[in-house]
């Protein structure tokens, strides 16, 4: 039986990954900053809370990371921890960089010092590319980060690359584009839209206020993306892989689909405000995931419209 350690198991991706790995027969361990007080509601929602072993780990504390890895003794480590909101990173840049960059550095150092083979997955981000315009990003596209979050993820990406080359560690980075699910917190715009449409459909007269509706993103389905994470670590040549659907749509189309699910015209219920615009927002995020299709035999099956429908169905269940 393989053993996996998921750092940040309580988040959207960590919870779905835990469920996926349990289905593969893994013994699953996970970390949270305080395992005793963490709610881990996502694990409860998936019905797997009692099937995983959770440890306390502070990613920015080397000793804490060493103890968690040493105690769980994993074959595979999935690093999904760290501050995950682009918007919040503008308000908390120092905390964002420390939680992401120091966190992955500590994991890599622990792996290097233990002299025991372990495969490490690092959660990268499409935010590193910045605005792609009409050109779809590939694994070779230069980074142009435009937020503290993206700067942190780009730094983590190059740390992984350096440790792979300099020390021969089996470490991989998944450059994931936007991926959503009902487990997204409501501070994320996609969940905010779904919840807002439902609220208005139930008779609430207050409008939904959003930022720039012209931004365009590649939206996928989170439970499919954790499959790609696992597939990366099953390859024998550590590398970086871009994971996306290959379909980019505007946020206003996402909004329209959500309101249409509830038989509403979004233009009657949505208003825009500069309050929700970021200091340097990405206009278009476009991806070419063909390399992952060939190397990992992975392709996204769920596009934006089905993502919206599934999230709406879950919201009304």
Active-site positions read 125, 127, 149
Paired sense of beta strands 216-217 and 208-210, if any: unpaired
CB 216 within 8 Å of CB 249: yes
Q: Where are the beta strands (DSSP E) in 159-200?
A: 170-176, 179-180
Q: Is the dihedral of CA 248, 253, 255, 259 positive or negative?
A: negative
Q: Where are the beta strands (DSSP E) in 208-278?
A: 208-210, 216-217, 220-221, 240-243, 249-250, 270-272
* Cβ within 8 Å of residue 165, ≥6 positions away: none
Greatest alpha-carbon pair distance for the chain in Å reads 61
CB 127 within 8 Å of CB 100: no
Q: How far is CA 160 from CA 38, 149, 307, in A?
A: 29, 17, 31
Query: Hey, how many other C-beta atoms are within 10 angstroms of the C-beta on 178?
Result: 24
Q: What angle do CA 91, 222, 231 make, to 5 degrees?
A: 115
Could you tell me how far CA 147 lies from the centroid of its own chain?
Answer: 16
CB 172 within 8 Å of CB 241: yes
In this structure, what token pair is assigned to residue 178? 């936007």
């Amino acid at each position: 039986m393989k053993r996996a350690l998921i750092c940040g198991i309580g988040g959207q991706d960590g919870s779905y990954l835990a469920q996926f790995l349990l289905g593969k027969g893994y013994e699953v361990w996970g970390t949270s900053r305080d395992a005793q007080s963490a709610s881990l509601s996502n694990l409860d929602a998936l019905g797997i809370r009692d099937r995983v072993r959770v440890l306390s780990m502070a990613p920015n504390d080397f000793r804490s990371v060493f103890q968690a890895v040493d105690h769980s003794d994993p074959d595979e480590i999935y690093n999904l921890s760290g501050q995950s909101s682009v918007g919040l990173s503008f308000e908390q840049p120092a905390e964002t960089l420390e939680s992401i960059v120091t966190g992955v550095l500590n994991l890599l150092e622990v792996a290097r010092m233990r002299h025991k083979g372990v495969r490490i997955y690092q959660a990268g981000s499409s935010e590193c590319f910045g605005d792609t315009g009409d050109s779809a990003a590939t694994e070779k596209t230069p980074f142009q980060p435009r937020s503290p979050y993206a700067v942190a993820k780009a730094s983590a990406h190059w740390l992984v690359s350096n440790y792979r080359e300099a020390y021969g560690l089996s470490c991989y980075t998944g450059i994931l584009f936007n991926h959503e699910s009902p487990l997204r917190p409501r501070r994320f715009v996609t969940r905010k839209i779904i919840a807002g449409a439902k609220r208005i459909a139930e008779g609430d007269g207050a409008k939904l206020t959003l930022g720039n509706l012209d931004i365009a993103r590649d939206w996928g389905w989170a439970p499919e993306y954790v499959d790609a994470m696992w597939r990366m670590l099953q390859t024998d040549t550590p590398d970086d892989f871009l994971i996306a659907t290959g379909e980019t749509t505007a946020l206003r189309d996402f909004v329209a689909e959500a309101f249409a699910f509830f038989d509403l015209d979004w233009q009657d219920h949505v208003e825009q405000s500069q309050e929700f615009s970021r200091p340097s927002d990405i206009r278009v995020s476009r991806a070419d995931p063909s390399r992952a299709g060939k190397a990992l035999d992975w392709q996204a099956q769920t596009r934006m419209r089905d993502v919206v429908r599934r999230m709406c169905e879950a919201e009304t269940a």
